[in-house]
Amino acid sequence: MQTYSSAFERELAGLIDQRRKDLIENVARGVVVDSMEKYREHVGRISELEEVLELFAVAHESVSKKR
């Protein structure tokens, strides 16, 4: 049985991952990059989203160990 909490976690992680992929695609295609400053900003956003996904994994592992 799927709880609301686990469904929410999965949905949010999926949305974050999709946003990360969209940013990567935009940078790779040069859509949003017209200066080095904007490139750095977008790469920073991608990096932060990757860190958030890693934190999701750590939190999930921590909660799973407590069960």
For residue range 20-64, what is the model confidence (pLDDT) as tens digits? 999 999 999 988 888 999 999 999 999 999 999 999 999 989 988
Q: 19 near 62, Cβ under 8 Å?
A: no
Q: 60 near 5, Cβ under 8 Å?
A: no
Question: Alpha helices of 30-66 — where are they, by DSSP H?
Answer: 36-66
> Does pTM top 0.85 for this prediction?
no
Place of tokens 């929410």: 8
Indicate the domain borders of the chain.
4-66
